[in-house]
A and B are shown apart, each in its own frame.
Chain A
Amino acid sequence: MEKINKLLAYLTLPLAVVIVYSAFMRYVFHNMPDWSFEISLFMFGIQAIMGGAYCHARKKHVSVDILEKYLSPKGKIRLEIVSECVILFVCIILIYISVPWAWQSFMIGEKSMHQTAFNPSIWWFKTVVPVGTLLLMVQSFRNLSIKIRECRGK
């Protein structure tokens, strides 16, 4: 998990390099690389979806935490348990529907729909959806078990 997150975080740097390089090549040499559009989308998409688990671990998914203030510590934990259950539900559904979706894509060896000359394969990029969601689910499950233990302990 640590290694994945590290890779995800440092993707920002090559992303910036690719974007600047392609603008430079177009402006100065009138020769835009045909791969930069999709390569930068890949890097962004991987970060945005697979980063969900790390963001959740750091409690950075924004919520409207208004009710919390009026609750007892135990009530607060119960609410957090409900919250994790909703996240788990969303994850399970999303994995359930995105696995066959990504599989179909793999079966036809799907290529990019952005109509560039580069035309890379994208079936692997589609697997980012179930894989990223699975990571998120694992994280949510961890949080849930901690909260349940806390709830019992008090």
Chain B
Amino acid sequence: ADTVYKWRAVTHSLSGTEDYKIIQEFCEMVNKASNGRLVIEPFGAGVLFPVFDSFDAIKNGIVELSMCSTGYWTGKDPMFAAFATRPGCPIRSYHEVMYLDRAAYPVMKELYAKHGLTLLGTFDACTPEPLMLAKKPIQSIQDFKGMNIRTSGMGTQFYQALGASAVSLSGPEIYTALQLGTIDAAEWTNWQENMEMGFHEVVKYALDPAVHIGATSSKFLTVNPKKWEALPEDLKTIVLLAMDHARYQSALKMHSSDEFYKRKWIESGVEVVSLPAEDFKEMQKVGMKVYKEYVEKAPNGQAYLEIYARVLHELGYEEEARFYGYGQ
């Protein structure tokens, strides 16, 4: 009889959420397509261990697969932060994000390999986020001065550059902190997840479009190298095809649900505000500067910046491409 492979997969998505359902579908699809020869059991965030331990857990073979944002691994290598959020980035649509990810794949794969993991590819991709939810109206770039903002990663440098105070809080602490006014604003993923977290109950304003751009809930599929090599070719192909399918599902679900949930936010009485075009431009510039300075300092950061600049050029963002050194 054929060998049956039993794998476990971990993710940063909470069990029960829409994001998590895409992962469940992925596992079911692999199971069916392989006729039960590869069984993957998914585990939501925190069920097996804290999300930030997933990296070592895969490396050590406790679990085989992970679908997580790179933001959790920034301590392992500063370069991971470059793929988590991109302050000031003009790349916003699904196809643009995919275009950039494909171009950056060799660099990312090498980065993961350096730390003992195999990157299979982008598992899903979300719309521009994180959104900023605020208790006070934000009408100009000046309004950020003196605000207490919950953020993470490069957002810290970004908002500090705008004169705000960056606050570190874990996900479950944000609700109470917003409710009581301990913080004035918070950044957290997308419309839907922000609503599931109940933030619409405790804020008055939502800033859209997001300015500290990234994809904090985009996931990358990584696997333990030894386990991957031990898998027969046909099963490997099934995993890769199921990943493509998940990506397709995410494109449908997240982008349509984004619009849907944005309407629900408005219905709940929250006012969606946006910055004047000039101020938005100004903030983008501040963000790009923060991003460039950060990535340049990271090992192998220059190689990635070249790719990033080229992609910006190819997508028609000439000014931004030049800022990152294209054509020099």
Q: Which partner residue on chain A sits nearest B116 by CB separation? A: A104
Q: Which partner residue on chain B sits nearest A37 by CB separation? A: B168
| Contact in complex: A101, B56 (CB < 8 Å) | yes
Asked whether B137 is an interface residue with its Cβ less than 8 Å from the other chain, the reply is no
Asked whether B77 is an interface residue with its Cβ less than 8 Å from the other chain, the reply is yes
- Bitwise, A17-35 to B at CB < 8 A (1) or not (0) is 0000000001100111010
Q: How far is the CB of B85 from chain A (nearest CB, A)?
A: 10
| Contact in complex: A108, B168 (CB < 8 Å) | no
- Bitwise, B173-184 to A at CB < 8 A (1) or not (0) is 000000000100
Interface residues of B in 106-163 (CB under 8 A from A): 115, 146-148, 152-153, 156-157, 160
Q: Which partner residue on chain B sits nearest A108 by CB separation? A: B76
Q: What chain B residues lie within 8 Å of A108 (beta carbons)? A: 76-77, 115
Among B15-23, B67-75, B262-270, the one that faces the other chain is B67-75
Q: Which partner residue on chain A sits nearest B72 by CB separation? A: A113
Asked whether A114 is an interface residue with its Cβ less than 8 Å from the other chain, the reply is yes
Q: Which partner residue on chain B sits nearest A112 by CB separation? A: B75
Q: How far is the CB of A3 from chain B (nearest CB, A)?
A: 31
Q: Which partner residue on chain A sits nearest B74 by CB separation? A: A115
Number of A-B contacts (CB under 8 A): 55
Q: What chain A residues lie within 8 Å of B81 (beta carbons)? A: 115
| Contact in complex: A113, B73 (CB < 8 Å) | yes
Interface residues of A in 112-154 (CB under 8 A from B): 112-117, 119, 122
Interface residues of B in 40-73 (CB under 8 A from A): 52, 56, 71-73
Asked whether B257 is an interface residue with its Cβ less than 8 Å from the other chain, the reply is no
Interface residues on A, range: 20 to 34
A31 to B148, CA, bound (A): 8
Asked whether A110 is an interface residue with its Cβ less than 8 Å from the other chain, the reply is yes
Q: How far is the CB of A66 from chain B (nearest CB, A)?
A: 32
| Contact in complex: B153, A115 (CB < 8 Å) | yes
**Main SS of the interface on chain A?**
loop
Asked whether B286 is an interface residue with its Cβ less than 8 Å from the other chain, the reply is no
A115 to B72, CA, bound (A): 8
| Contact in complex: B71, A115 (CB < 8 Å) | yes
A119 to B77, CA, bound (A): 12
The residue among B52, B74, B168 with the most chain A CB atoms within 10 A of its own CB is B168
A31 to B160, CA, bound (A): 10
A32 to B167, CA, bound (A): 7
| Contact in complex: B157, A113 (CB < 8 Å) | no
Asked whether A111 is an interface residue with its Cβ less than 8 Å from the other chain, the reply is yes
Q: What chain A residues lie within 8 Å of B71 (beta carbons)? A: 115
| Contact in complex: B75, A26 (CB < 8 Å) | no
| Contact in complex: B152, A115 (CB < 8 Å) | yes
| Contact in complex: A34, B75 (CB < 8 Å) | no
Given contacts A108-B77, A117-B156, contact A30 B168 (CB under 8 A): no
| Contact in complex: B75, A113 (CB < 8 Å) | yes
Q: How far is the CB of A30 from chain B (nearest CB, A)?
A: 4
A114 to B169, CA, bound (A): 9
Q: How far is the CB of A100 from chain B (nearest CB, A)?
A: 9
Partner of A110, one of B75, B148, B156, B166: B75
Given contacts A113-B73, A117-B156, contact A30 B146 (CB under 8 A): yes
A27 to B77, CA, bound (A): 33
Partner of B160, one of A26, A104, A117: A117
| Contact in complex: B76, A30 (CB < 8 Å) | no
A111 to B299, CA, bound (A): 14
| Contact in complex: B52, A113 (CB < 8 Å) | yes
Asked whether B165 is an interface residue with its Cβ less than 8 Å from the other chain, the reply is yes
Q: What chain A residues lie within 8 Å of B165 (beta carbons)? A: 26, 30-32
The residue among A26, A113, A115 with the most chain B CB atoms within 10 A of its own CB is A115
**5 nearest A-B residue pairs (beta carbon):** A117-B156, A115-B152, A113-B75, A37-B168, A111-B75
Enumerate 18 A-B pairs (CB-CB under 8 Å) in ascending A order. Answer: A26-B148, A30-B146, A31-B165, A32-B148, A32-B165, A32-B166, A34-B166, A108-B76, A108-B115, A111-B78, A112-B75, A113-B52, A113-B74, A113-B75, A115-B71, A115-B156, A119-B75, A122-B75
